[in-house]
Amino acid sequence: MTLTTKVLLGMGLGIVVGLAINLLGLNADGSVVNTFLTNGVFGIVGKMFVNALKMLVVPLVLLSLIGGVCGIGDIRLLGRIGTKSFALYILTTAIAVAIAGAALTGIGSGMDVQSAAEFTGADAPPLADVLVNIVPANPINAMAEGEMLSIIFFAILVGISLLLVGSRGKGLIDGVEAANEVMMKMVGIIMALAPYAVFCLLAKAMADLGLDLLLQLVGYVLVLVAILLFHLFVVLQVVLKVFSGLSPVTFLQKMRNVQVFAFSTSSSNATIPVTLRTVVQRLGVDRSVASFTVPFGATINMDGTAIMQGVATVFIANIYGVDLGIGGYLTVILMSVLASIGTAGVPGVGLIMLSMVFSQVGLPLEGIGLILGVDRLLDMIRTAVNVSGDAVVSCIVAKSENKLDVDVYVDPDAGLEDDLDKANPQATQPVS
């Protein structure tokens, strides 16, 4: 079996085992299963795997971006790639929120709001602070804190400076490329354990959530899932076809692995190593482009999260009988897009962003407590949408700059010779 097949098998078994534990009542507080299995083995293995992926993110983004900028070799070309990427990310996010708001009519009306759980909203940073913090006062601290926009700014500046140095910087550029290859090999080592980690992550999530909360909020869940899937399988694929002419079917087939990992980790940032590898090896995007667009997208492109904000805002507004009006809907779209920029791609961040949107349109923050219980599961789905949007934009930008190998894109076996997808962990084919 390939790694993708193993991961899908682990995902399916994890869902079945987790639901069985929940439905049989084996996960009660203080029980042996809860203590030693759900929060023990499943929790520990899952957290270790996610931490291992996050461990790679900062050095991988830093090295790949510096190498990507140097690989582009032309500062004007870098400007074009950055402008196109930013415009496409904002466009797809705005479309996502607009679809979410337009698709809802009366969902949540008449629901008992007394069941709302406690939720304390965090104050959103002013836009001015977000812009100022893009430039890191201390790049080492920015790396330690995982501040992605600051890391991206610093890496691009280092890459541009290396280009301006000319031949004297060639040795350092070669060193960066070699270090980047080492990081990709580390990705391969960690991914060998992925099927078991995915099993543990999903088994714990389903054991904790069960079906009760889903049944209580079935309208909200079904509408949100439907819109997320519509955006993934229709909107993004139409955008891909219109702007690049590439086959959406091929794209979806090759992105399954990334989507499964995003679903399992609920973190766009933790999935960066897998996304970057797939976009380059399987979809044929030149590494110089992918090294810029993938980490950039994981930082500012939150289509799935923006959809959740649109759906949740209308849902809570209906519950409390608040008429948002056209102005309210436009505010939700604008705030959701702005909130996506500079927000960390980590699990649960959507709820913090949502508190900002609620405050802006005058909705009670305690309404977030109604959706708190099911958000973890929905977070998995919207993260898969987020990373798919990153890959779509990467393909479009690469195609427009003649930086996409179409032969690799259409080849169903492209990239499968790499050790990430072979059952034999001893495979030694080099990363191209």
8 Å CB contact between 220 and 33: no
Q: With CA atoms as reference, report the closest residue to 46 among 371, 263, 275.
A: 263
- Does the residue 420 lie in any domain? no
Per-residue confidence (pLDDT) for residue 242, from 0 to 100? 93
- Does the residue 102 lie in any domain? yes
Residue ranges of alpha helices (H) inside 24-42 are 32
Taking only Cα atoms into account, the Rg of the chain, rounded to an integer number of angstroms, comes to: 22
Say how many C-beta atoms besides its own lie within 10 A of residue 24's C-beta.
Answer: 9
Instruction: Check residues 20 and 309 and name the one with the higher pLDDT.
Output: 20
- Does the residue 418 lie in any domain? no
H or E stretch including 186? helix 170-191
Which range among 182-186, 271-275, 308-312, 341-345 has the greatest average pLDDT? Answer: 271-275
Q: What share of residues in the chain are helix, strand, coil (percent, to 5)?
A: 75, 0, 25
Given pLDDT bands bounded at 50, 70 and 90, which one contains residue 394? Answer: very high
Given pLDDT bands bounded at 50, 70 and 90, which one contains residue 120? Answer: very low
The two tokens of residue 217 are: 């909020």
What mean pLDDT comes out for the span 277-287? 91
Instruction: Check residues 343 and 11 and name the one with the higher pLDDT.
Output: 11
What is the rounded CA–CA span in Å between residue 391 and residue 81?
14
Say how many C-beta atoms besides its own lie within 10 A of residue 47's C-beta.
Answer: 14
- Does the residue 163 lie in any domain? yes
Per-residue confidence (pLDDT) for residue 103, from 0 to 100? 58
Per-residue confidence (pLDDT) for residue 431, from 0 to 100? 36
Per-residue confidence (pLDDT) for residue 145, from 0 to 100? 83
Per-residue confidence (pLDDT) for residue 367, from 0 to 100? 67
What's the total number of domains in the chain? 1
What is the rounded CA–CA span in Å between residue 203 and residue 409?
34
- Does the residue 419 lie in any domain? no
Per-residue confidence (pLDDT) for residue 342, from 0 to 100? 44
Asked if pLDDT for residue 393 goes beyond 90, the answer is yes
Give the type of residue at 213. Answer: L
Q: Which residue has the tokens 């809802």?
A: 104
Q: How many CA atoms lie within 13 A of 398 on its CB side?
A: 28
Instruction: Check residues 246 and 312 and name the one with the higher pLDDT.
Output: 246
- Per-residue pLDDT tens digits for 137-178: 999 998 888 776 788 788 889 988 988 888 888 888 889 888
What mean pLDDT comes out for the span 348-353? 57
What is the rounded CA–CA span in Å between residue 16 and residue 25?
14
- Does the residue 423 lie in any domain? no
- Does the residue 322 lie in any domain? yes
Asked if pLDDT for residue 427 goes beyond 50, the answer is no
Residue count (the chain): 432
Q: Which domain, by its residues, includes 134?
A: 3-410
Name beta bridge partners: 404: 285
Q: What b/e string do you get for 322-338 counting C-beta neighbours within 10 Å, with b at 16 or more?
A: bebeeebbebbbebbbb
The two tokens of residue 360 are: 């802006």
- Per-residue pLDDT tens digits for 48-77: 887 887 787 788 778 877 877 777 677 777
Q: How many CA atoms lie within 13 A of 334 on its CB side?
A: 9
Asked if pLDDT for residue 323 goes beyond 80, the answer is no
Q: Which residue has the tokens 């940073």?
A: 125
What is the rounded CA–CA span in Å between residue 398 and residue 406?
10
What mean pLDDT comes out for the span 388-415? 90
Per-residue confidence (pLDDT) for residue 360, from 0 to 100? 66
Q: With CA atoms as reference, report the closest residue to 244 among 48, 392, 77.
A: 392
The two tokens of residue 1 are: 């079996």
Q: With CA atoms as reference, report the closest residue to 253 among 3, 4, 429.
A: 4
End-to-end CA distance of the chain: 23
- Does the residue 431 lie in any domain? no
- Per-residue pLDDT tens digits for 190-230: 877 878 888 888 788 778 766 654 565 677 778 888 888 89
Angle (CA) 270-271-277 rounded to 5° is: 130
Coil, strand or helix at 258: helix
CATH of the domain at 378: 1.10.3860.10
Given pLDDT bands bounded at 50, 70 and 90, which one contains residue 395? Answer: very high
What mean pLDDT comes out for the span 378-395? 88
What is the rounded CA–CA span in Å between residue 136 and residue 150?
5
What is the rounded CA–CA span in Å between residue 164 and residue 121?
46
Mean residue pLDDT across the chain:
77
Global pTM value: 0.66
8 Å CB contact between 109 and 319: yes
What mean pLDDT comes out for the span 9-17? 85
Percent of the chain clearing pLDDT 70 (strictly above): 75
Range of lowest pLDDT (363-372, 385-394, 409-418): 363-372
